Structure 1
Amino acid sequence: NLQPQWLPDMEPDPAELRRSDVSAGSVLVSPKSVLVIKKIRDASLLQPFKELCVFLTEVKDMIVYVEKKVLDDPAISGDESFGPVTKKFCTFREDLDDISNRVDFIICLGGDGTLLYASSLFQDSVPPVMGFHLGSLGFLTPFQFDAFQSQVTQIIEGNAAIILRSRLKVQVFKENWEKKDGSDEKNIVLANGGVKASRPAVQYQVLNDVVVDRGPSSYLSNVDLFLDGHLITTVQGDGLIVSTPTGSTAYAVAAGASMIHPNVPAIMITPICPHSLSFRPIVVPAGVELKITLSQDARNTAWVSFDGRKRQEICHGDSISITTSCFPVPSICFRDPVNDWFESLGECLHWNVRKKQNHLGAEDEDF
């Protein structure tokens, strides 16, 4: 169930109530607050950021949340004309402040990496995300900033469709886990600071992919892959990519995987340079539980990253558990889920671009 469930004796948060009906194809209802995510240290985004924030605060009278490190940029903190606007902001710090119940929707200024970062800030339910293409690729950011005022107004008024992009729930279990900060050894420490009772683990929500590779070692990566408790294969090569349908058009497609539409409930498993002529990428149903461990006779450790972040070493006795998360990312469509996806395939990846064959003329039919 993708909708928040309220306990009878709890007062539901207004922000959650406004998002509680978010599902595939649905629209926002009377959003009051917005989180603006801007790519850090990118001078080309300063003017769009300022224009957007002035529009949201002064024209739309919305509560705007911004990361504190964004406002620490001298080009922003030193702009006296922008000072009155920044005083209206609500600020937060990554990994320290929980804003999950305060934000109605998110606006990203940057590229696909900026949207992945926005996803990582929310380890439970995610507000709908509107991505403006101000980065290098833009597969996940279908909106152009030139018409941002009319486009944002359409979203605020509820005139937009939403596609649910599935995420992966990943737990990393460490054999040699060190007890820190007085935490009990049976706790799962969540990425947002929460705690659940279980054996030692760190948990992540991943929008694109989990990548296991050989790291700095010159030896083959040698890892075992389990599906619902059964060993299905041993990966011998540079590594393994486990991706969502959204992530199938990222690292996975570069490694030879098929591209999967985000509406398809699936998990893609793609080997990286396998030392085998017959090891092809496979698609398994969403909801299965995958487990990755070092093979008993592996010559070296492995390394794992989550959407390109939080990179860490995997040693003998450690394991990585992966399944479909119950907290997808509601992504706001420019047109609709099908047209947006094929538009991105053509514009960003130049899918099936080829000079068309000339038709046969009457004088050519005899040849």
Structure 2
Amino acid sequence: MARRKLLLLLKPLDAYSLGSSSNGVSRLSNPQILHHLDSRNKVHKDVISFCKNILQKKFVDWEEILRDNLCYPVRNVDVVVTFGGDGTLLHASHFVDDSIPILGVNSDPTNAEEVEEHNNEFDATRSTGYLCAATVNNFEQVLDDILEGRSVPSELTRLSVHVNSELLPMYALNDILIAHPCPAEVSWFSFRIKKEGQPYSPLLNCRSCGLRVSTATGSTAAMLSAGGFQMPISSHDLQYMVREPISPGAASSRMYGLINPNQSLDIAWYCKEGYIYVDGSQVRYYIKHGDTIEVSARAPLLRVYLPPHLLGQGGSYFRRNPVGEKRELSKM
């Protein structure tokens, strides 16, 4: 049997250096915060070393690269293993196709007791690893299950975007946000839902803080925080929401909803400038007045080894209106 080849994608250690300036002098006066940042740095570094020691005992070869240095498509590896949290896994997802699975290792999990202890002093939360199947405690078992074929990656929907009929080079795993560069400015656009062989939905003209579209994976992130609803992670639908619409009136019920896999969201942009933000703020594409944008789920699926609590999700989608009533929107 051929040796398996892995790519290790590492969150950089300087991600935890917020407490120091370039000359090493502390910029923070609270010693507890400094201790917390130092602890995060050490935990992350120790986990990487521990997992590398495990890899040395396995029938694998690997190379490693810092997250910020990955800017090209990944080829010729069997698995990408990310060390960090969901942000590092998201970054990896922008550079792999549907042939290479990803295993996320949460290298710095939040400790509930630590958060409770420092709740009145500072934010002691650590890395979010919602999509990460492994931690330092179970890494070897998860890895063995993958290498011996006992674990199968799940297929997650990604989101594709065309601007003026040109496909953007990166697919979104979580969501996109289309908005004016200045958060205090109004975003002016219109959109409608298109389905092949059927008439368009009525045009909806919007002045708001922008438009967010998420996958099922991203429905637990910014979309949920904005008042959206959690979707089963296996769903191939997309969810959209107009952010803080100005005077929606009778059209308020059309300011959010679902886009089925055989549909697309067609958007016309009317501001002088704007951006399409992909999976957060680090990847963005400039748009201008008159540009047309098509958003759909017609993108290569992403294969991810998921934690057990995310497997086998199913059921209905619900969204709470402002008074708390649940309204069923769709079923799997």
Normalization by structure 1: what TM-score? 0.64
The residue correspondences of 1:61-72 to structure 2 (distance < 5 A) are: 61-67=59-65, 69=66
CA, structure 1 residues 200+282, in 2 after alignment: closer, same or farther (shift >3 Å)? Answer: closer
Q: Which residue of 1 aligns with 2:148?
A: 157
Alignment length, in residue pairs?
260
- 2:70 is equivalent to residue 94 of structure 1: yes
Question: 1:162/1:127 Cα in 2 relative to 1: closer, same or farther (>3 Å)?
Answer: same
Deviation of 1:321 (Å): 2.1
Q: Which residue of 2 aligns with 1:269?
A: 240
Q: Which amino acid aligns with 1:110?
A: G
**What one-letter code is carried by the residue in structure 2 that aligns with 1:65?**
E
Q: Does 1:113 align with 2:87?
A: yes
The alignment-based identity, stated in percent, is 22
1:330 corresponding residue in structure 2: 303
Identify unmatched segments of 5+ residues in structure 2: 16-40, 109-126, 316-332
2:169 is paired with a residue whose SS is strand
**SS of aligned partner of 1:33:** strand
Report SS of the residue matched to 2:132: coil
Match of 2:77 among 103, 106, 116: 103
The amino acid across from 1:45 in the alignment is: H
Distance 2:103 2:183 in 1: 40
Aligned to 2:322: none
Q: What is the alpha-carbon distance in structure 1 between the residues aligned to residue 2 and residue 60 of structure 2?
A: 11
Q: Which residue of 2 aligns with 1:59?
A: 57
1:202 to 2:168 alignment: yes
User: Where do 5+ consecutive residues of structure 1 fail to align?
Assistant: 1-28, 73-92, 174-198, 343-367
Task: Give 4+ residue runs of structure 1 displaced > 4 Å after superposition.
Answer: 339-342
CA radius of gyration, larger in: 1
Q: CA 1:65–1:171 in structure 2 vs 1: closer, same or farther (change >3 Å)?
A: farther
Equivalent position to 2:193, from 218, 227, 240: 227
Q: State the secondary structure of the residue aligned to 2:238.
A: strand
1:154-213 alpha-carbon deviations (Å, 9 max, x no partner)? 22111114321100122233xxxxxxxxxxxxxxxxxxxxxxxxx655332110111012
Superimposed CA distance per residue, residues 16-52 of structure 1 (whole angstroms, 9 cap, x where no aligned partner)? xxxxxxxxxxxxx987111212112243322211222
RMSD (Å), alpha carbons: 2.7
1:287 to 242, 255, 262: 262
Give 1:110 shift. 1.3
Look up the equivalent residue of 1:281 and give its one-letter code.
Y
Q: What's the offset of the Cα at 1:150?
A: 2.1
Distance 1:232 1:301 in 2: 21
Counterpart of 1:313 in structure 2 is 286
Partners in 2 of 1:311 and 1:333 — Cα distance?
A: 27
How much has 1:221 moved relative to structure 2? Answer: 0.9
Amino acid at match of 1:272: R
1:194 match: none
User: Which of 256, 274, 278 matches 1:302?
Assistant: 274
Q: Look up the SS of the partner of 2:163 in the other structure.
A: strand
What letter is aligned with 1:171? H
SS at match of 1:258: coil
Q: TM-score, normalised by structure 2?
A: 0.70
